[in-house]
Structures are given as C-alpha cells and as structure tokens.
Structure 1
Amino acid sequence: MLTLQSLQQQMLMLQQQQQRQQQQYQQQPQPQQKQSEQQQHQHEQQRYQQQQQQQQQQYQQQQKERQES
C-alpha cells in the first residue's frame, strides 16, 4: 500500500532530480542576460522546494509520533 509518506518522498526525489538537471542546464554557456533571469527563477524554485521539504519533514515527524503512541 502506497502511503502518503512514500509518495511524498518520491516527489521530493523527483524535485531534487529536476533541480540538478536545471543546474546542469544553467552551466552551459548562455548569454549573460538569459543566465541571470534563469538564476532568479531557480532561486525561487529552491525556496519553494525548501519550504516543501520542511513541511514534509514536520508532517513525517507527526506521523511517526502518532504511530508510536
């Protein structure tokens, strides 16, 4: 049975993969203008992903405590 937890972990892994691919893409030579736009975009995405990760960790923590009690 797929738990919410394992789904979330899969999503996290996918997001991290995506991030890595974007970073590789950004390391290819590009006009300066374009690159700064992209970095901006990536920062936003990283912020969003970090928030997601924190929420998921908190949620997982609560789940754990619930199971133990």
Structure 2
Amino acid sequence: MLLVTLIKVSGSKIKQHMVETSKAYSVKDISEYLDLKDSTTLGVLDIMGAFGIVEKRKNGVYYYFLTDTYSEE
C-alpha cells in the first residue's frame, strides 16, 4: 500500500514538474527535486515508462522526458 501511494504521489509530482518545464531530467535531478533516493526515483520512473508516461534516452546518462515532448525526434 505504501509503495502504491509513493508511486501515485511521486509520479504526479514528476509529471507536473516535467509539464511545467518541458525539459528532460536525469534520475539525480529528479531525486534532488523530490528529496528521494536515486533508487526510489528510478523505480517510479521505470513504472511511469511502462505505462507510457515517460521515455528515456541515453546521452552519457539516461534522461527522462514526457512521451509527447520529443516524439518527433
């Protein structure tokens, strides 16, 4: 139950932050924004990716962005 709540709250905060800024973020960037451990943030982002909310691209490190933001690239 706690995990589901964490995913709902963190996922909505991540999505809202990405909508407001329209840029890609690394796991470390999002972890610092939410004040969570990197592993927790990575788990939330992986679940968001499985549902098609975010995508990731590797440029040295993985960067996450909303699915529709860079869809033409």
TM-score class normalised by the smaller sequence: 0.3 to 0.5
Which structure: larger Rg? 1
Compare relative contact order (CA 8 Å, sep 6+) and give the higher one, 1 or 2: 1
* TM, length-normalised to structure 2: 0.32
The structure with the greater share of residues assigned to strand is: 2
- What TM-score do you get using the length of structure 1 for normalisation? 0.34
